[in-house]
Amino acid sequence: MKINEVEALVGIPKKNIRFYESEGLLKPERSSNGYRDYSEEEAEILRRIKLLRKLGVPLEEIRKMQSGTHTVGDGMRRHLITLERDMENLKQSIQFCSALADCRERLMDLDAAALLAEMESMELSGTTFQNKQRQDVRIRYVAPVTITLLTVLLMGGLAALILWGTSVDPAGAPPFALVLVLMGMPAVVIGGVVLALFQRIQEIGKGEEDDARQF
Protein backbone atom coordinates (compact mmCIF):
# COMPACT_ATOMS: atom_id res chain seq x y z
CA MET A 1 0.00 0.00 0.00
CA LYS A 2 1.06 3.57 -0.67
CA ILE A 3 1.19 6.05 2.19
CA ASN A 4 -2.02 7.72 0.98
CA GLU A 5 -3.84 4.40 1.22
CA VAL A 6 -2.50 3.75 4.72
CA GLU A 7 -3.54 7.24 5.79
CA ALA A 8 -7.10 6.58 4.62
CA LEU A 9 -7.18 3.06 6.07
CA VAL A 10 -5.84 3.82 9.55
CA GLY A 11 -6.81 7.46 9.95
CA ILE A 12 -3.33 8.75 10.77
CA PRO A 13 -1.95 11.72 8.79
CA LYS A 14 1.00 11.12 6.51
CA LYS A 15 3.25 13.42 8.53
CA ASN A 16 2.60 11.30 11.61
CA ILE A 17 3.28 8.09 9.73
CA ARG A 18 6.62 9.47 8.55
CA PHE A 19 7.38 10.66 12.07
CA TYR A 20 6.78 7.19 13.52
CA GLU A 21 9.03 5.76 10.83
CA SER A 22 11.77 8.25 11.75
CA GLU A 23 11.36 7.14 15.37
CA GLY A 24 11.96 3.53 14.38
CA LEU A 25 8.44 2.35 15.24
CA LEU A 26 7.67 1.54 11.63
CA LYS A 27 9.87 -0.01 8.95
CA PRO A 28 8.04 -0.31 5.63
CA GLU A 29 9.67 -2.04 2.69
CA ARG A 30 10.82 -0.07 -0.33
CA SER A 31 9.51 -0.94 -3.78
CA SER A 32 11.78 -1.13 -6.82
CA ASN A 33 11.05 2.51 -7.65
CA GLY A 34 12.04 3.63 -4.14
CA TYR A 35 8.55 4.32 -2.78
CA ARG A 36 7.49 3.04 0.63
CA ASP A 37 5.34 -0.07 0.40
CA TYR A 38 3.19 -0.57 3.50
CA SER A 39 1.84 -4.01 4.31
CA GLU A 40 -1.20 -4.90 6.41
CA GLU A 41 1.25 -5.61 9.23
CA GLU A 42 2.45 -1.99 9.16
CA ALA A 43 -1.17 -0.83 9.15
CA GLU A 44 -1.85 -2.94 12.24
CA ILE A 45 1.25 -1.51 13.96
CA LEU A 46 -0.09 1.98 13.25
CA ARG A 47 -3.47 1.03 14.73
CA ARG A 48 -1.75 -0.10 17.93
CA ILE A 49 0.30 3.10 18.06
CA LYS A 50 -2.84 5.16 17.50
CA LEU A 51 -4.62 3.35 20.33
CA LEU A 52 -1.78 3.87 22.78
CA ARG A 53 -1.21 7.50 21.80
CA LYS A 54 -4.90 8.24 22.34
CA LEU A 55 -4.36 6.96 25.88
CA GLY A 56 -1.38 9.28 26.26
CA VAL A 57 1.28 6.57 26.33
CA PRO A 58 4.73 8.07 25.55
CA LEU A 59 6.54 6.94 22.42
CA GLU A 60 9.41 5.51 24.47
CA GLU A 61 6.99 3.26 26.35
CA ILE A 62 5.39 2.19 23.07
CA ARG A 63 8.84 1.38 21.74
CA LYS A 64 9.55 -0.86 24.73
CA MET A 65 6.24 -2.67 24.35
CA GLN A 66 6.77 -3.06 20.63
CA SER A 67 10.24 -4.53 21.12
CA GLY A 68 8.95 -6.96 23.75
CA THR A 69 10.97 -5.39 26.57
CA HIS A 70 7.67 -4.60 28.30
CA THR A 71 4.35 -6.38 27.99
CA VAL A 72 1.17 -4.38 27.50
CA GLY A 73 0.43 -4.86 31.19
CA ASP A 74 3.89 -3.59 32.16
CA GLY A 75 3.47 -0.51 30.01
CA MET A 76 -0.03 0.22 31.29
CA ARG A 77 1.00 -0.14 34.93
CA ARG A 78 3.83 2.32 34.38
CA HIS A 79 1.50 4.67 32.52
CA LEU A 80 -1.10 4.46 35.28
CA ILE A 81 1.50 5.71 37.76
CA THR A 82 2.12 8.70 35.49
CA LEU A 83 -1.61 9.36 35.07
CA GLU A 84 -2.23 9.16 38.81
CA ARG A 85 0.65 11.57 39.44
CA ASP A 86 -0.73 13.93 36.79
CA MET A 87 -4.18 13.68 38.36
CA GLU A 88 -2.80 14.61 41.77
CA ASN A 89 -0.93 17.55 40.26
CA LEU A 90 -4.09 18.63 38.49
CA LYS A 91 -6.04 18.45 41.75
CA GLN A 92 -3.49 20.72 43.40
CA SER A 93 -3.73 23.15 40.48
CA ILE A 94 -7.53 23.12 40.71
CA GLN A 95 -7.40 23.87 44.43
CA PHE A 96 -4.97 26.72 43.85
CA CYS A 97 -7.10 28.16 41.04
CA SER A 98 -10.25 27.76 43.13
CA ALA A 99 -8.68 29.83 45.89
CA LEU A 100 -7.78 32.53 43.37
CA ALA A 101 -11.30 32.40 41.93
CA ASP A 102 -12.55 34.06 45.12
CA CYS A 103 -9.97 36.83 44.75
CA ARG A 104 -11.48 40.30 44.25
CA GLU A 105 -8.17 42.01 43.57
CA ARG A 106 -7.09 43.35 40.23
CA LEU A 107 -4.07 41.68 38.66
CA MET A 108 -1.90 44.72 39.36
CA ASP A 109 -2.71 44.39 43.08
CA LEU A 110 -2.06 40.65 43.26
CA ASP A 111 0.75 39.56 45.60
CA ALA A 112 2.45 37.32 43.05
CA ALA A 113 5.59 36.88 45.17
CA ALA A 114 3.63 35.35 48.05
CA LEU A 115 1.66 33.08 45.73
CA LEU A 116 4.81 31.95 43.92
CA ALA A 117 6.44 31.20 47.26
CA GLU A 118 3.44 29.06 48.16
CA MET A 119 3.65 27.25 44.82
CA GLU A 120 7.37 26.64 45.26
CA SER A 121 6.69 25.18 48.69
CA MET A 122 4.15 22.83 47.13
CA GLU A 123 6.63 21.91 44.39
CA LEU A 124 9.17 20.94 47.03
CA SER A 125 6.54 18.53 48.33
CA GLY A 126 6.25 16.91 44.90
CA THR A 127 3.56 18.94 43.13
CA THR A 128 4.25 19.84 39.51
CA PHE A 129 2.43 22.83 38.07
CA GLN A 130 1.84 23.32 34.37
CA ASN A 131 4.16 25.84 32.80
CA LYS A 132 2.42 27.03 29.67
CA GLN A 133 4.99 28.72 27.50
CA ARG A 134 4.63 28.91 23.75
CA GLN A 135 7.94 28.17 22.12
CA ASP A 136 9.16 30.94 19.88
CA VAL A 137 9.06 29.30 16.46
CA ARG A 138 11.01 32.05 14.70
CA ILE A 139 14.25 30.12 15.23
CA ARG A 140 12.80 27.32 13.09
CA TYR A 141 12.72 29.62 10.09
CA VAL A 142 16.46 30.31 10.19
CA ALA A 143 17.74 27.05 8.70
CA PRO A 144 15.32 26.73 5.74
CA VAL A 145 15.60 30.42 4.85
CA THR A 146 19.40 30.30 5.04
CA ILE A 147 19.60 27.19 2.86
CA THR A 148 17.22 28.75 0.33
CA LEU A 149 19.22 31.97 0.13
CA LEU A 150 22.51 30.11 -0.32
CA THR A 151 21.01 27.90 -3.02
CA VAL A 152 19.52 30.88 -4.86
CA LEU A 153 22.86 32.72 -4.72
CA LEU A 154 24.76 29.65 -5.92
CA MET A 155 22.38 28.88 -8.78
CA GLY A 156 22.10 32.55 -9.70
CA GLY A 157 25.88 32.79 -9.82
CA LEU A 158 26.02 29.70 -12.02
CA ALA A 159 23.48 31.20 -14.43
CA ALA A 160 25.42 34.47 -14.51
CA LEU A 161 28.62 32.55 -15.21
CA ILE A 162 26.98 30.79 -18.14
CA LEU A 163 25.78 34.10 -19.58
CA TRP A 164 29.19 35.65 -19.08
CA GLY A 165 30.88 32.74 -20.83
CA THR A 166 28.64 32.99 -23.87
CA SER A 167 29.04 36.78 -24.10
CA VAL A 168 32.85 36.74 -23.84
CA ASP A 169 33.29 34.34 -26.74
CA PRO A 170 30.12 34.34 -28.86
CA ALA A 171 31.82 32.42 -31.66
CA GLY A 172 32.81 29.57 -29.39
CA ALA A 173 29.56 29.56 -27.44
CA PRO A 174 27.43 26.40 -27.51
CA PRO A 175 24.18 26.34 -29.52
CA PHE A 176 21.45 28.63 -28.26
CA ALA A 177 19.20 25.69 -27.38
CA LEU A 178 21.92 24.21 -25.18
CA VAL A 179 22.43 27.58 -23.49
CA LEU A 180 18.72 27.68 -22.72
CA VAL A 181 18.90 24.19 -21.21
CA LEU A 182 21.93 25.14 -19.12
CA MET A 183 20.18 28.30 -17.95
CA GLY A 184 17.01 26.37 -17.23
CA MET A 185 18.67 23.97 -14.81
CA PRO A 186 19.55 26.61 -12.17
CA ALA A 187 16.11 28.17 -12.67
CA VAL A 188 14.41 24.83 -11.96
CA VAL A 189 16.54 24.29 -8.85
CA ILE A 190 15.76 27.80 -7.58
CA GLY A 191 12.04 27.28 -8.20
CA GLY A 192 12.06 23.94 -6.39
CA VAL A 193 13.94 25.31 -3.39
CA VAL A 194 11.65 28.34 -3.10
CA LEU A 195 8.59 26.07 -3.29
CA ALA A 196 10.06 23.81 -0.60
CA LEU A 197 10.71 26.86 1.58
CA PHE A 198 7.11 27.99 1.16
CA GLN A 199 5.81 24.55 2.16
CA ARG A 200 8.19 24.41 5.12
CA ILE A 201 7.04 27.81 6.36
CA GLN A 202 3.44 26.59 6.15
CA GLU A 203 4.31 23.48 8.17
CA ILE A 204 6.04 25.54 10.85
CA GLY A 205 3.14 27.95 11.01
CA LYS A 206 0.66 25.12 11.46
CA GLY A 207 2.83 23.37 14.03
CA GLU A 208 2.79 20.09 12.10
CA GLU A 209 5.93 18.76 13.78
CA ASP A 210 4.48 19.39 17.20
CA ASP A 211 1.21 17.74 16.17
CA ALA A 212 3.08 14.68 14.97
CA ARG A 213 4.95 14.35 18.23
CA GLN A 214 1.75 14.68 20.24
CA PHE A 215 -0.40 12.33 18.17
Could you tell me where the DSSP H helices lie in 110-137?
112-124
At position 58, the amino acid (one-letter code) is P
Q: What value does the mean pLDDT take over residues 21-42?
A: 88
Cα gap 23→71, rounded to integer Å: 20
Instruction: Record the pTM.
Output: 0.56
Query: Which region among 14-23, 161-170, 198-207 has the lowest average model confidence (pLDDT)?
Result: 198-207
Task: Identify the weakest region by mean pLDDT among 52-56, 72-76, 128-132, 164-168.
Answer: 128-132
For the four alpha carbons of 44, 50, 52 and 57, in that order, the dihedral sign comes to positive
Beta strand extents in 29-151 (DSSP E only): 29-30, 36-37
User: Which of the four pLDDT bands, split at 50, 70 and 90, describes residue 203?
Assistant: low
